[in-house]
Chain A
Amino acid sequence: ETGVTQSPTHLIKTRGQQVTLRCSSQSGHNTVSWYQQALGQGPQFIFQYYREEENGRGNFPPRFSGLQFPNYSSELNVNALELDDSALYLCASSPKTPGGTEAFFGQGTRLTVV
């Protein structure tokens, strides 16, 4: 059983550029969520994908967008990067269940915007 993997692990971008982060979900999991963790803060929910459809979104602007593929892997795209987008971006996968359940996180992508 493979865990959640994210790529790249580190990334430096210039303000105004666009970035794509990737996540492979854990085997058997059809739900992927993305979180942004700024320095000294807890992870903040960006959005969630279930069976290739967006299934909930946090308080993030439309320049944050995503995709989920038929194999349940996912991408997070951020356009027009701002300095405040510098953060650790975490992907989490889980089986879709009616109630709550634990999610499994990847190691994260550290994005630095300069």
Chain B
Amino acid sequence: DQQVKQNSPSLSVQEGRISILNCDYTNSMFDYFLWYKKYPAEGPTFLISISSIKDKNEDGRFTVFLNKSAKHLSLHIVPSQPGDSAVYFCAAIPPNTGNQFYFGTGTSLTVIP
């Protein structure tokens, strides 16, 4: 069963506007969440993370929001740049499992110049 879901396979945004990528999860035991970005022919690269004790974490143009009651997290990119075009995966980690990630299926973001 898919415990982490990204229901939007793709998203197109104009350069300079906000990109919002969404992720839902079903396991309330997850206590750490991450976003990874993946370019073709490369491995995923870490973008930003958030612990379940927080509801927001910001790093430059990237902000992750966590709504535990809704089991929902989102990644906001402001302003979006053409170099942000990639596939974005959200991932979740249950407690006491090291780094055994549960990944979503990914959202392909295209930023249009």
Contact = CB atoms under 8 A, between A and B. Distances in A.
6 contacts: A42-B6, A42-B89, A92-B101, A94-B99, A106-B43, A107-B43
Contacts of B103: 35, 42-44
Interface residues of B, number: 28
Interface of B: 4, 6, 31-32, 34, 36, 41-46, 49, 51, 89, 93, 95-106
Contact of B43 (A4, A40, A50): A4
Contacts of B31: 99-100
Contacts, number: 77
Contacts of B93: 100
A103 B89 contact: no
Interface of A: 4, 6, 31, 33, 35, 40-45, 48, 50, 55-56, 58, 90, 92, 94, 96-108
Nearest to A108: B43
Contacts of B95: 99
Contacts of A42: 4, 6, 89, 103-106
A58 B98 CA distance: 13
